[in-house]
Amino acid sequence: MSFQKYFLAKNLKKDLPASIVVFLVALPLCLGIAMASGAPLFAGLLTGIIGGIVVASLSGSQLSVSGPAAGLTVIVLNAITQLGAYEIFLLAVVIAGLIQIILGLVKAGTIGNYFPSSVIEGMLAAIGIILILKQIPHAIGYDADYEGNESFVQPDHENTFSGIISALSRVSYGAVIISTLSVLVLIYWPKIKKIAMIPAPLIVVVLGVGLSQLFKGSASLGLNADQMVQIPVIKSFTELTSLFVLPDFSAVFNKDVWTVAVTIAIVASLETLLSIEACDKIDPIKRVTPTNRELIAQGVGNSVSGLLGGLPMTSVIVRSSANVNAGARTKLSAILHATWLLVALLFIPVLINHIPLSCLAAILLVTGFKLASLTLFKRMWKNGKDQFIPFIITILAVVFTDLLTGVAIGMMVGVFYILRTNLRNPYFYKLEKEGRQKVLKLKLAEEVSFLNKGAIQYTLTHIPNGARVIIDGTNSRYIDRDVLEVIENFHAHAHTNKIDVELIGIKPRYEVPKLKELVVNTKEIQQN
């Protein structure tokens, strides 16, 4: 694959501004997730840098952005406590990465192809709602919870709604002014054609820094240190090298290390596959990410992160959606965002620490409104209740629990509706009359699985006495053995109820189509 496309002017003019937006979104999230995980702040930034440079370079996704994930904070915090040393935990992260590489090699990524579309749409909308709700406290100047938390029940013993109520009693007027003006800039700046080429989020940051300096010394408008980005300040090369931590390989035979590694590998892989599926759905060009390659890329990223002292990572939907909404076109945006993280850490940490969290909250608020747009709800409603109900339940479940739990609940509802649809459509039937005799024609579907057994059996057992039945399997490529048994039993014993049965095109045995046959058929369709 040619690398020239990443440096084409038409892509660069979109990827470069988008990378700045993702950098501004990722910066506080990396720090917040590291703090909540009980890990050094440097570990969060290191993970974001590795996720952007290593994983994005190896990944087949053009828009996904990887880094430390909020969904892993509880696992990481408990693992560090359980294993007793951060160095031992890092070994578990290295092993988790190796497990993910194996999962990718054995094609486990194909599980991502089976997430119902309605559930993915619901997850995206839920993330949008969570972003709005979780950023309100930061936008008005107070939040005891860590930046990036997506769970309803928070570590600070609050929940999403009580956190907002608590924040309302401690409003910082300076933060409110900054966040309000930032939202207005984000909405209206891109509409001014002559200056729209300058990224609105960059203007927001400049505005935020300027206002925070202007408000200094004011009792009513001044911002405190905890209302600003707090990136570690590195003063020398020796201090930088001392921040890297190596894993303790002597603990390789500790069974607890392997338990933690397997847990991280499974959870991180599931969250990555969900994020990738969601990212592909909002990609304007509708590119499809090779999921097995993504697992391998994530595995390499996690192993490198563990070797250098970082946290486990996943593809993160918040950063990825911010990347898409900022107009990114290729993976260069994700790579550049990691480069800006590295530059900020090494060269301008003091400047970065002047950025108010309230202006960064505004960027996430606008991203949230785009993900949970009214247009999306209207579209899902028009798609019918089979799509809308799993969509809404997924939203509620994700908002009131956490990402993986909510999606699992949505999946169960989505699968229920898929099965219900399949159960209702195993055949087409038509009831006619020939003189006084009723004639029932059953035309079986192309694929008739064991899931259709109940519906077909119900129909056959409720045929009136004296009727004539024609069961047509001409178009069926496959009929499950259980269904064939039902048809054969009905055919053999229908005479006892004076029912005349005619079977057309039904074979005594059907073989499951082989993968090679499906591939050949697909190629023939593409050629035609």
Q: How far apart are CA 71 and CA 270, in angstroms?
A: 11
Query: Of 388, 409, 442, at which residue does a domain stop?
Result: 388
Same domain, 378 and 440: no
Query: Of 365, 388, 411, at which residue does a domain stop?
Result: 388
Q: Can you give the pLDDT at residue 522?
A: 45
pLDDT tens digit sequence for 260-279 = 999 999 999 999 999 999 99
Asked whether the predicted pLDDT for residue 196 surpasses 80, the reply is no
Q: Can you give the pLDDT at residue 265?
A: 97
pLDDT tens digit sequence for 150-184 = 899 988 888 999 999 999 999 999 999 999 999 99
- 235 — phi, psi (to 5°)? -100, -15
Q: Is residue 120 part of a domain?
A: yes
Domain with 475, as residue range(s), is 426-504
Same domain, 161 and 287: yes
Q: How far apart are CA 358 and CA 140, in angstroms?
A: 7
Same domain, 118 and 235: yes
Cα pseudo-dihedral 443, 447, 449, 455, rounded to 10: -30
Q: How far apart are CA 333 and CA 199, in angstroms?
A: 14
The domain tally of the chain equals 2
Asked whether the predicted pLDDT for residue 372 surpasses 90, the reply is yes
Q: What is the mean pLDDT of the chain?
A: 90
Same domain, 365 and 497: no
Asked whether the predicted pLDDT for residue 462 surpasses 90, the reply is no
> Bigger pLDDT: 451 or 476?
476
DSSP-assigned states of every residue in 471-483: EE-TT-SEE-HHH
Most confident of 5-9, 220-224, 309-313, 468-472: 309-313
- Report the pLDDT averaged over residues 74-86: 94
Same domain, 381 and 432: no
Q: Can you give the pLDDT at residue 16?
A: 94
> Bigger pLDDT: 442 or 311?
311
Using alpha carbons only, give the angle 325, 328, 331 rounded to the nearest 5 degrees: 130
Asked whether the predicted pLDDT for residue 1 surpasses 50, the reply is no
Q: With CA atoms as reference, report the closest residue to 245 among 299, 301, 307.
A: 307
Q: How far apart are CA 79 and CA 485, in angstroms?
A: 53
Q: Can you give the pLDDT at residue 430?
A: 67
Rounded to a whole number, what is the distance in angstroms from the first to the last CA of the chain?
A: 27
Same domain, 172 and 305: yes
- Report the pLDDT averaged over residues 501-517: 78
Same domain, 459 and 356: no
Same domain, 350 and 469: no
Query: Of 336, 361, 388, at which residue does a domain stop?
Result: 388
Q: Can you give the pLDDT at residue 230?
A: 92
Same domain, 445 and 357: no
Same domain, 128 and 273: yes
Q: Is residue 455 part of a domain?
A: yes
pLDDT band, residue 528 (cuts 50/70/90): very low
- Report the pLDDT averaged over residues 113-117: 85
What CATH number is attached to the domain comprising 457? 3.30.750.24
Q: Is residue 219 part of a domain?
A: yes
Asked whether the predicted pLDDT for residue 141 surpasses 60, the reply is yes
Asked whether the predicted pLDDT for residue 513 surpasses 80, the reply is no
Q: Is residue 519 part of a domain?
A: no
pLDDT tens digit sequence for 317-368 = 999 999 999 999 999 999 999 999 999 999 999 999 999 999 999 999 999 9
pLDDT tens digit sequence for 17-41 = 999 999 999 999 999 999 999 999 9
Q: Is residue 302 part of a domain?
A: yes
Same domain, 263 and 352: yes
- 427 — phi, psi (to 5°)? -160, 165
pLDDT tens digit sequence for 305-321 = 999 999 999 999 999 99
- 218 — phi, psi (to 5°)? -85, 130
Asked which of 240-254, 282-296, 422-436 is least confident by mean pLDDT, the reply is: 422-436
Q: Can you give the pLDDT at residue 445?
A: 81
Same domain, 275 and 336: yes
- Report the pLDDT averaged over residues 108-124: 89
Q: Is residue 527 part of a domain?
A: no
